[in-house]
């Protein structure tokens, strides 16, 4: 490399640095709020019980415009499902003891299943309730 080439490269590097230093950061800060729902079954009862939790989250994101934010959120939501689920399950678990059962909305299905119980069935059912099963 000759001296002219080195000088030219140094000058170009200096100009590039000056231009970058004078430009404003093209990114802005955005608050992104979005609803999400987690649903899961409880394996201990043969997956009969389904829990559904609806919530809302908010995150800070950085980008040039709304299109950047939408692209980032699409990737975040595609890759973040297990982490959002973990967060919401833990957050809910930590607050369950503060919920008054009198304030819980309960609804019933359309058709109950009715079957005659034997004395053995009754004993098993009673013991299961007493043992919190």
The reported pLDDT for the residue numbered 89 is 93
What are the pLDDT digits (tens) for 21-66?
A: 667 888 899 999 999 999 999 998 899 999 999 999 999 999 999 9
pLDDT at residue 4 is higher than 60:
yes
Q: How far is CA 121 from the centre of its chain?
A: 42
The reported pLDDT for the residue numbered 1 is 63
In the numeric block, the tokens 């389904």 are attached to 50
What are the pLDDT digits (tens) for 81-114?
A: 999 999 999 999 999 999 999 999 988 888 888 8
46-83 exposure pattern, b = at least 16 Cβ within 10 A, e = fewer: eeeeeeeeeeeeeeebebeeeebbeebbeebeeebeee
Provide the whole-model pTM. 0.63
Helix (H, G, I), strand (E, B) or coil at 24: coil
Q: Name the band, by pLDDT with cuts 50, 70 and 90, for residue 133.
A: low
């Amino acid at each position: 490399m000759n001296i002219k080439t080195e000088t030219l490269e140094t000058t170009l590097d200096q100009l590039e640095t000056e231009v970058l230093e004078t430009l404003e950061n093209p990114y802005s800060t955005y608050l992104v709020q979005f609803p999400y729902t987690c649903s899961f079954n409880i394996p201990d009862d043969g997956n009969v019980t389904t829990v559904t939790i609806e919530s809302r989250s908010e995150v800070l994101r950085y980008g040039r415009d709304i299109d950047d934010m939408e692209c980032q959120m699409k990737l975040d939501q595609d890759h973040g499902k297990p982490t959002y689920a973990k967060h919401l399950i833990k957050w809910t678990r930590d607050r369950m003891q503060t919920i008054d059962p009198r304030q819980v909305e309960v609804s019933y299905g359309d058709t109950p299943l009715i079957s005659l119980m034997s004395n053995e069935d009754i004993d098993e059912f009673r013991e299961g309730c007493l043992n919190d099963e």
